[in-house]
Amino acid sequence: MSQNQSFIPVAEPSIGDKELIYVTDCLKSGWISSLGEYVRSFENQFAVYCETQYGVATFNGTVALHLLIATLNLGIGDEVIVPSLTFVATANAVRYTGATPVFVDSERQTWNIDPAAVAAAITPRTKAIIAVHLYGHPADMDALRAIADKYNLLLLEDAAEAHGARYKGRRVGSLGDAAIFSFYGNKIITTGEGGIIVTHNQAWAERAFFLENQGRYNDNPYFHPELAFNYRMTNIQAAIGLAQLERIDQLIEIRQRNAAHYNRRLAEVVGLTLPPAMAWAENVYWMYSVLIEDEFGLSRDEVRARLRAANIDTRPFFYPVHTLPMYHSGQSLPIAEDLAQRGINLPSASTLTPEQIERVCDTLIELQR
């Protein structure tokens, strides 16, 4: 195992010439804040890409989620059901509004929110469910929709990790009542920092735009009838995003091809569980992830350390949010906790080469010798 081979990151953005051209055009135009053609084009085109009608772009994905929950008027006294195995922002955005995130366990098969656990967590205070499409694999939206309809709850998607993924042929982002995406630098497409709300609901889109824009109406811009936010995306961000969006199909295709390559090499390895791939899902593999089972013979952390010694970066799965200090209650969610302890994100960028994938797989397989 050679120490001096080049470093392979878990994630890195793919920035092309078009991004430079659009950003340069944006800067030269002088429209560098949140007014400008790129923001409106990006919102419209991303909404169309998601098979939705409206897009409201924001400064990052976390504020998109906060803005969405504020738009839906959820707050103190309301409960919002979230998976515990997710990035912390899913729960924080609920908490920012004064509403209470209620954590539920994951399904072993998909690593996503377990619909049966959702049904069991409903109380008279429950107002919404947030599905997260973890690492690029869609959650079981039909099962969640049935529960949401039965109990008259909002069904929201945190699709920050799953741009372009499909559930039974339909794009994520179009399946819930509204959805958010993130365009952070390591996401499937990026705007540096960035986010968006997409929805079919015109009134919500207008309300979200009003609230992210300091609570103003264009015909009377310094009269602010309500407490609101500045969560707007800049035209510079949107210029990057528009160029990325023009290449999104290609970026996803590369991730799927890379995942197939990993799957071919790793399928026979004892003690490795490969990423979920339900028949009804199209996974976009934001992160190509594996579980290190006991039969592998080394602990998850040992595997990570040995890969690191070979100059291969990995990440552990998220800590289940219910175990973090600000949410800790002694609650036990055994599947989320087990997945979190076994999971590794392997190098997953769309810049990854077949040679690099071979090196990661060779190194991983070598660990068992």
Ligand X SMILES: *Cc1c(COP(=O)(O)O)cnc(C)c1O
Which residues would be at the binding site for ligand X (CB under 6 A)?
60-62, 86-87, 89-90, 132, 158, 160-161, 182, 184, 195
Instruction: Please say whether the beta carbons of 166 and 159 come within 8 A.
Output: no
CB closer to ligand X, 64 vs 148: 64
Taking the C-alpha atoms of residue 47 and residue 180, their distance in angstroms, rounded to an integer, is 11
CB of 186 to ligand X, least distance (A): 8
> What is the per-residue DSSP string for 289-307?
EEEE-GGGSS-HHHHHHHH
- Measured distance CA(302)–CA(317) in Å, rounded: 15
Least distance (Å) from ligand X to the CB of residue 159? Answer: 8
| Smallest distance, ligand X to C-beta of residue 86, A | 5
Judged by beta carbon, residue 31 or residue 59, the one nearer ligand X is 59
CB-nearer residue toward ligand X: 158 or 212: 158
For ligand X, the closer of residues 94 and 153 by Cβ is 94
Structure tokens that stand for 64 in this block = 């998109």
Shortest distance (Å) from residue 309 CB to ligand X: 28
Identify the DSSP state of 78: -
Q: 193-203 b/e with 16+ CB inside 10 Å = b?
A: bbbbbbbebee
Of the candidates 44, 279, 347, the residue with the CA atom closest to the CA atom of residue 138:
279
The smaller minimum CB distance to ligand X, of residues 100 and 191, is found at 191
CB 137 within 8 A of CB 124: no
Considering beta carbons, is residue 204 or 231 the nearer one to ligand X? 231
Q: What is the DSSP string of 112-135?
A: SB-HHHHHHH--TTEEEEEEE-GG
Alpha-carbon distance values, 55 to 50, 120, 129, 136, 207 (Å): 9, 33, 21, 20, 12
**Min. distance of Cβ 195 from ligand X in angstroms?**
5
CB of 146 to ligand X, least distance (A): 23
User: Quick one: 184 or 262, whose CB is closer to ligand X?
Assistant: 184
Cβ 252 to ligand X shortest distance, Å: 16
**Cα 14 to Cα 323: distance, rounded to the nearest angstrom:** 34
